[in-house]
Structure 1
Amino acid sequence: MPAIVAKHLLPFLRQQQTATRFLIAFSGGLDSHVLLHLCAALQVQYPYWQFRAIHIDHGLQAESPDWAAHCGTVCGLLAMPLVQVALHLQIPPGASLEAEARQARYDAFAQHLQTDEMLLTAHHQDDQAETLLLHLLRGSGVDGLAAMPAVRAFAQGWLGRPLLGCSREDLAAYAHQHALHYLQDPSNADSRFDRNFLRHQVMPVLRQRWPAVARTFARAARLQGESRQLLHDCVQEKLPYYQGSCSGTLAISQLRTASLALQAALLRSWLANAGFLLPSAKKLERVLHDVLLASADAMPCVCWAGCEIRRYRDDLYAIRPLTAHDAAQVWYWDAHQTLVLPTLGITLIPEMLGAWLPLARDAGGVTVRFRQGGETMELPYRGGSHALKHLLQEAGIPPWQRERLPLIYVGERLVNVVGVLQVNP
């Protein structure tokens, strides 16, 4: 059994108790070809593990169709099922080709990864060292300096990197021993790209002085990963003590009793748990200062891709960016059918009318409107008519949600503020 299998791949796969199906990211290059070849051999010995491969053609090189054909041939010879995806990427002016290609590639992986399947990539020890250096040069904290974890959640399953303990030299030796015919992407030699610059210009100089630099950096990344896990576990235990009055919020007054370092850690864990992209250091600093330290009646908002941080009273909210919405629109509703409000992604059902449903036609029909100001609602159990503005304040509805609440009218009477208040005839 090859040393790479015995020491790295086999122990890694045996540790994945919840995953028995694996999708191999196969570019056709040295690293991924070795991983594919290793997995194909294991498939024969361990049939309860199921492997298949995926090749992504970014459409950025004239030779990419030939590369796709090569990958098809290799997988055919190894009896490895292959999914081929052509992206035909167009890189926007000023955008990073590396970043755009990587994002598109992982989006494609996520689309094709099946439930409880693990994506396997061929990242190795030298990749880990380069990643650590890149994050260090960007001023990253413990999350960045932990570099690439061996396993993490991804899409409907996981992403695994079984070769992180192997050097590029180990993989090249295996490829030579087994006469693997792998592809050479000319862009990998282009030192305009940061990772290539580190690989070809910086790491060789460091290796001359410190021969084991890649292994040392990889060990440092692993230790940072352990620190990150300890920090994560500690912060997760503390988060419930900072819960706000509404589900999914944090209590600002409670947060402000913590140190700045703990505040930052709590915010990052809270956002990660909710599935948001983590903010940059500058954005996080704005949350800590512009939002947490704002006066109670202020309405600060800090935004980044896919997330808005807002506060209302003592609660801190993380929400998806608000979509465009015209509060002046009026919908006429045949209340015996469902009504979809497309700008809000809300579906109204007849049951929301309750006892008003049989009375709706005689009372002048049903309309759905939104707040314009000055609305009132009759609450028999409290006596008389009450300003909707005050009722929403009493219910603790944040201001940015108020004009987005569907108001159901029977005739000219407001009978339901969806999700907040309903009155019976």
Structure 2
Amino acid sequence: MLMLSQHLCDYLRRLNITDKPLAVALSGGVDSVALLLAAVEAKKKIPTLEISAVHVNHGLSQNATQWQAFCEQLCVYHQVPFSASVVTIEKSSRQSLEQLARVARYGVIAEQLSEHTVLLTGHHLADQAETFLLRLMRRSGLTGLGAMRSLAPFPDKLGRQKSLQLARPFLDLTKEDLVSYVTAYNTKWVEDESNNVLSFDRNYVRTSLLPVLAQRWPQYHQAIAQSTALLQEEADLLLDYVKSDYKASIGLGFLNEVTLNIAKLNEFEQAKLKAVLRMFCFEITGSYPSTNILMQVITSLITAQQDHQPEILFGDFYFKRHRDHIYLIAQAGTGIEPETTKVKSNIECQLDAQNCYSTIKIVSKFDDLFEIKYGNNSDKLPMANGLGSKSVKQAFKDMACPPWLRCKIPLVYYQGELVAIGGRYVHERFQNKLKVTLGL
């Protein structure tokens, strides 16, 4: 029997991650149970290892609660710290249930884990073959066909901000290796009934395509694994080639949002332009766009006139253009106006989560309440030095605020009168009597 614990120890040492917190992604299936058992044994060989387990309850099965209880009991038995999260999957016509569950799973795990943690998953050779074939059918390019990497950045923006990593120590092992290991421990596992639902693409590949390949090419998974390794090497070379151009294309938009500079993009030939856009997408979303999305960005967004406001949907994000910048912003919360609220002068206050800013402090000689409103574009503010009045809409334009954020900029009112727009413009009568400070 293959000693998975030694295999895991060798993997952790080879990648120099023995000093980082390790979290096992524990679903309760045989692959993740094998990984947990191997991690427990590995800690006996490397006592300094910090091991925990995380479980995500998607609530998609009537057995989900029992699976969570099984995982918790298994961790209690092996004295492994355990945490579980319940997520709600909202069905969408644009994304498969598999993809929605994946995004939700990594999102909630990113919230749970501490900084610099490495999430371990039980993916194996057959999983790599499935991923390769699925991406082939989705017309993926070089990066996509490289499939899963042994060690990768976390596929979630928050996870990357927290310097999390995703590790797959069993990518060079077979499913049979994992089953044999768990069986030898006389340990049970759970079976997800959805694995038999052929409407899920991955299940169809696993049950209908791979057995046919195995009949003709018994070592198909090793062959695919070698090809994906070569593709990853070539993708890394391309990444190094494009990286300097990508960095040169990065700009800062409104509120220092990371954007792409359109003038710089226009200097590139199409192949390099696509590569830069892919890199931008991955940095922001953790995913790569399809060729169709890339061509829409190139033909509709980059070439658009400055006064046009095209937008292109990419998963849960939108490509948007404002002036000479391309933004990639989360769909959630766009266009949602924060609630009107009242704040007391000279006290820093928290703002609605939908706001562009997190805090506001109104330093004033008036010991009174101010009202914070949003989106009143037609209201006007008398300007200092006899410059007349400026409408809220014009002020936003002068601030280079993109249209989709204008309903999220605080407007300060005193006794029903507009006295400040954001932290920039103040009513002529309130000059030197009022200062608005906004915190990101």
Which range, TM-score by smaller chain?
A: 0.7 to 0.9
Larger mean CA deviation between 385-394 and 187-196 belongs to 385-394
Describe the SS at the equivalent of 2:128.
helix
The residue aligned with 1:208 is 215
User: Residues 250 and 96 from structure 1, CA distance in 2 versus in 1: closer, same or farther, beyond 3 angstroms?
Assistant: closer
Provide the TM-score with structure 1 as the length reference.
0.81
* Residue 291 of structure 1 pairs with residue 296 of structure 2: no
Mapped contact 1:250–1:316 kept (Cα < 8 A): yes
Aligned partners of 2:370 and 2:216: how far apart in 1? 79
Aligned residue in 1 for 2:438: none
How far off is 1:38 after superposition?
A: 1.8
Distance in 2 between the 1:201 and 1:324 partners? 45
TM-score by length of 2: 0.78
1:45-194 alignment to 2 at 5 Å? Answer: 45-62=45-62, 67-68=67-68, 70-72=70-72, 74-77=74-77, 79-83=78-82, 85=84, 87=86, 92=91, 96-154=96-154, 155=159, 156=162, 157-194=164-201
The alpha-carbon deviation at position 176 of structure 1 amounts to 4.8
| Equivalent in the alignment of 1:228 | 235
- 1:258 Cα shift? 0.9
CA 1:192/1:375 → structure 2, altered by over 3 Å: closer, same or farther?
closer
Match of 2:278 in 1: 268
Distance in 2 separating the partners of 1:145 and 1:153: 17
- Closer, same or farther: CA 96–401 of 1 in aligned 2, 3 Å: closer
8 Å contact from structure 2 (residues 381, 419) kept in 1: no
SS in 2 for 1:250: strand
Q: Residue 263 and residue 148 in structure 1: after superposition, are their counterparts in 2 closer, same or farther (change >3 A)?
A: same
Alpha-carbon spacing, 1:366–1:36, altered in 2? closer, same or farther (3 Å):
closer
How far off its partner does 1:408 sit? 3.9
Letter of the aligned partner of 1:262 in structure 2? K
In the TM superposition, 1:311-390 aligns within 5 A as 311-321=321-331, 322-325=334-337, 334-338=344-348, 341-342=351-352, 344=355, 346=357, 347-351=359-363, 357-358=364-365, 360=366, 368=372, 371-373=376-378, 375-380=380-385, 384-385=387-388, 387-388=390-391
Aligned partner of 1:12 in structure 2 is 11
Q: Please give the secondary structure, in 1, of the residue aligned with 2:223.
A: helix
Cα gap change, 1:256/1:23 in structure 2, threshold over 3 Å: closer, same or farther? same
C-alpha distance in structure 2 between counterparts of 1:315 and 1:413, whole Å: 34
- 1:119 CA drift (Å): 1.8
In structure 1, how many angstroms separate the alpha carbons of the residues matched to 2:66 and 2:408? 52
Q: For residue 304 of structure 2, give the secondary structure of its aligned residue in structure 1.
A: coil
Shift in Å at residue 128 of structure 1?
0.5
Matched residues in 2 for 1:13 and 1:285: separation?
Answer: 41
Query: Is the contact made by 2:29 and 2:189 (CA closer than 8 Å) also made in structure 1?
Result: yes
Could you tell me which of 246, 259, 269 is aligned with 1:259? 269
In structure 2, the CA distance between the partners of 1:288 and 1:183, relative to structure 1 (3 Å rule), is same
Give the partner amino acid of 2:44. V
Residues 258-267 or 228-237, more deviating? 228-237
Contact 1:333 / 1:367 at 8 angstroms: preserved in 2? yes
Q: Is the 8 A contact 1:408 1:418 kept in 2?
A: yes
SS in 1 for 2:214: helix
Name the counterpart of 1:354. none
CA distance in structure 2 between the partners assigned to 1:66 and 1:244 by the alignment: 49
Q: CA deviation at 1:228?
A: 2.6
1:282 corresponds to: 292
Equivalent residues of 1:118, 1:158 under 8 A apart: yes
Which secondary structure does the structure 2 equivalent of 1:325 belong to?
A: coil
Contiguous gaps of at least 5 residues in structure 2: 433-440
User: Does structure 1 conserve the Cα–Cα contact (< 8 Å) formed by 2:87 and 2:104?
Assistant: no
DSSP 3-state at the match of 2:153: strand
Q: In structure 1, what is the Cα distance between the partners aligned to 2:128 and 2:60?
A: 25
Per-residue CA deviation, residues 35-93 of structure 1 (Å, 9 max, x unaligned), is 2222222222211012233444545555555555554554455x232526374867749
AA of the residue aligned to 1:166: L
Matching residue's letter, 1:344? N
Which of 237, 240, 243 is matched with 2:247 structurally?
Answer: 240
Give the secondary structure class of the aligned counterpart of 2:321.
strand
Amino acid corresponding to residue 349 of structure 1 in structure 2: K
> Could you tell which deviates more after superposition, 202-211 or 99-108?
99-108
Offset from partner CA, 1:374-397 (integer Å, 9 cap, x none)? 7354343xx643645666545434
Q: Secondary structure at the match of 2:131?
A: helix
Q: Which residue does 1:35 correspond to in 2?
A: 35
In structure 1, how many angstroms separate the alpha carbons of the residues matched to 2:284 and 2:183? Answer: 46
Aligned-partner Cα distance in 1 for 2:370–2:194: 63
Q: CA deviation at 1:285?
A: 2.3
- Tell me: CA distance 1:231–1:392, structure 2 relative to 1, closer, same or farther (3 Å): same
More displaced, 133-142 or 191-200? 191-200
Are 2:87 and 2:105, in contact at CA under 8 Å, matched by a contact in 1?
Answer: no
CA contact 1:143–1:225 (8 Å) conserved in 2: yes
